[in-house]
Structure 1
Amino acid sequence: MPGLLDVILGYDCNLACDYCTITPAMRARALSPEAVVAAMREGRRLDYDRVAFTGGEPTIRRDLLGLVRASRKLGYGDVKIQSNALLFTEANVARLVAAGTSRFHISIHTHLEPAYDALVRRADSFAMMEAGLRQAVASGVHVVVDMIVKTDTYPRLPAAIDWVADRGVPEVHLWFVSLTDGNTDNVESLPPMTTAVPSMRAAMARGRERGVEVKSLHVPRCLLGEDWRHAWDPGSQRVMVVTPEATFELSQSRLAGQGQVPACEGCEFESFCPGLRNDYLEAFGDAEVARVRGREPSATGKLRLPVLARA
């Protein structure tokens, strides 16, 4: 069965985003090029036919072009680069495409310059990101923009969709902020889902108007109401994550939904919804899901049922 090999080359980055889960200690860890090639060979043996290079920030590695070329030689038909686009000059983008890159995923976090520079904690970086985004779109390969949904960004989501649409971006993914590793104690960054969902749904409506496909990656379908079709669970596909420490299925990642709560029983989405993340349950419990299902919250607000097999 084909699938995606998601390779975290290393955790170092040229930004220091205020919600980042990467700790200072993690930034020192990276895969060697030999380890990456070995993982890609094993991936092809197991019939993985797509590969993603992410981090950290993969474009700060001098061996990235060689790794992209190696992935194509090994037979990967789709090659994704996940980046903040700060180093996406015209020449760099052209080299990545010539080497075999077939899609760019670009994290823009938020679309307003002062807010962006404050969020990434690097002055004058917004102009570099925007220029890099334009170069990626101009290259002709598929471009996806990733936006973080957190307390200070979710109100601006509808306007952000207009911003990316004006720049020719066809697809946007909405990532709900996670309280893991380096962001564990940043509790104020995590809004209740029911607080953020109205802005998310307004962004989805704006996307439909502007011809931009908008996907939500972490909010259960029951909380999205009539927009539940915008929910997407990457872990429902065959995705193997390769990191400097371990290799595991994406469905087992702490950044993916990890379990259902008692109120999920009997839901029309029960057989394939991954539920909520542990960090979210620890912060807010299961009252939101229980309310929309017309049920009582569990006694602890954290009780989970086993994760079901993905459809």
Structure 2
Amino acid sequence: MPGLLDLIVGYDCNLACDYCTITPAMRERALAPAAIVAEMRSGRSQGYDRLAITGGEPTIRAELVGLVKAARKLGYADIKVQSNGLLFSEANVARLVDAGVTRFHVSIHTHEPDAYDALVRRPGAHALMEQGLRNVVASGRHVVVDAIIKTDTYRRLPAAIEWIAARRVPEVHLWYVSLTDGNADKVESLPPMAEAVPYMRQALALGRAHGLDIKSLHVPRCLLGDDADHAWDPGSQRVRVVTPDATFDLADSRLAGQDQVPACVGCRFEAICPGVRPDYLARYGDAEIATARAQPPTIPAQTHLRVV
């Protein structure tokens, strides 16, 4: 059966994003090149025909071009490199394209230079990211931008979509920040969906107006209203995740929706919606979903919803 092999080749990175789930101890762990090739070979033998090379930051690995060549030789039809884009110089992009990369994912976090540099905690990083983004767009390969939804970014999301569209990016994925591992204690970074979704819906409308393929991850369809068709659950596909620590199906990841609450029963999306992430339920309970379904909440929040 076809599917995606998602290879997290290592946790180290050339940035230190303030919401990153990777801990300092995790940054020390990585897969050796031989182990990566072995995983790619195993994936092909089991029918996986698409490959994602991610991290951490995969472009800091000197053997990245060689890994892409190995993936192409093994017969992967689609080879993606997920990056923050800082090392996507014109020459590096050309090498990756020649090696066999078919798509680039660039995490922009947020589009404003000062806010971006503060978030990634590296002065001058925004200029490198933006030039890297321009270089992958110019390469002719498919480009996807990943934008993070967190307390200090969601209000800027509509403006970010305008910024992205102006750079001729065809596809955008909206990621909702997670309270796991290195970000577990930064509860203030996770906004209530009731506050963030109106800005997300503005962004979705702008994306449609610009002809963008724009997808929302992690927000249940019932909260998106008429924009529910933009909801996307990558775990609904066959995706195997390989990390330096473990191998698992994406549907079982803590970063994926896992819990349907009582209000989900009878919802028209019940059969296709994975539910809510455990970290979100622990923080805010099920009041928002229950309200959307005109039902009383049953799962209490750890703290009251904040208006920020």
Q: Counterpart in 1 of 2:113?
A: 113
Q: Counterpart in 2 of 1:306?
A: none
Q: Counterpart in 1 of 2:155?
A: 155
Q: Counterpart in 2 of 1:292?
A: 292
Number of residue equivalences: 302
Q: Counterpart in 1 of 2:145?
A: 145
- Shift in Å at residue 300 of structure 1? 4.1
- Shift in Å at residue 301 of structure 1? 5.5
Counterpart CA distance in 2 for 1:96 and 1:194 is 41
Counterpart CA distance in 2 for 1:99 and 1:248 is 28
Q: Counterpart in 2 of 1:18?
A: 18
SS in 1 for 2:201: helix
SS in 1 for 2:19: coil
Q: Counterpart in 2 of 1:268?
A: 268
SS in 2 for 1:106: strand
Q: Counterpart in 2 of 1:122?
A: 122
SS in 1 for 2:81: strand
Gaps of 5+ in 1: 303-311
What is the CA deviation profile of residues 183-224 of structure 1, one whole-angstrom value per residue up to 9, with x for unaligned ones? 001011000011100000000000011111110010000000
Q: Counterpart in 1 of 2:237?
A: 237
- Shift in Å at residue 105 of structure 1? 0.4
Q: Counterpart in 1 of 2:38?
A: 38
Gaps of 5+ in 2: 303-308
Q: Counterpart in 2 of 1:309?
A: none
Give 2:105's aligned amino acid. H
Give 2:11's aligned amino acid. Y
Runs of at least 4 residues of structure 1 off by over 3 A? 299-302
Q: Does 1:2 align with 2:29?
A: no
SS in 2 for 1:159: helix
Give 1:58's aligned amino acid. P
SS in 1 for 2:160: helix
Q: Counterpart in 2 of 1:177?
A: 177
Q: Counterpart in 2 of 1:251?
A: 251
What is the CA deviation profile of residues 21-62 of structure 1, one whole-angstrom value per residue up to 9, with x for unaligned ones? 000000000000111111111101110000000000000000
Counterpart CA distance in 1 for 2:173 and 2:2 is 23
Give 1:10's aligned amino acid. G
SS in 2 for 1:289: helix
Q: Counterpart in 2 of 1:308?
A: none
Indicate conservation of the 8 Å contact 2:283/2:301, yes or no. no
Counterpart CA distance in 1 for 2:96 and 2:57 is 15
State percent identity of aligned pairs. Answer: 71
What is the CA deviation profile of residues 44-94 of structure 1, one whole-angstrom value per residue up to 9, with x for unaligned ones? 111000000000000000010010000011110000000000000000000
TM-score by length of 2: 0.97
Indicate conservation of the 8 Å contact 2:108/2:147, yes or no. yes
Counterpart CA distance in 2 for 1:65 and 1:119 is 29
- Shift in Å at residue 259 of structure 1? 1.1
Counterpart CA distance in 1 for 2:131 and 2:242 is 30
- Shift in Å at residue 299 of structure 1? 5.0
Give 2:104's aligned amino acid. F
Counterpart CA distance in 2 for 1:246 and 1:17 is 23
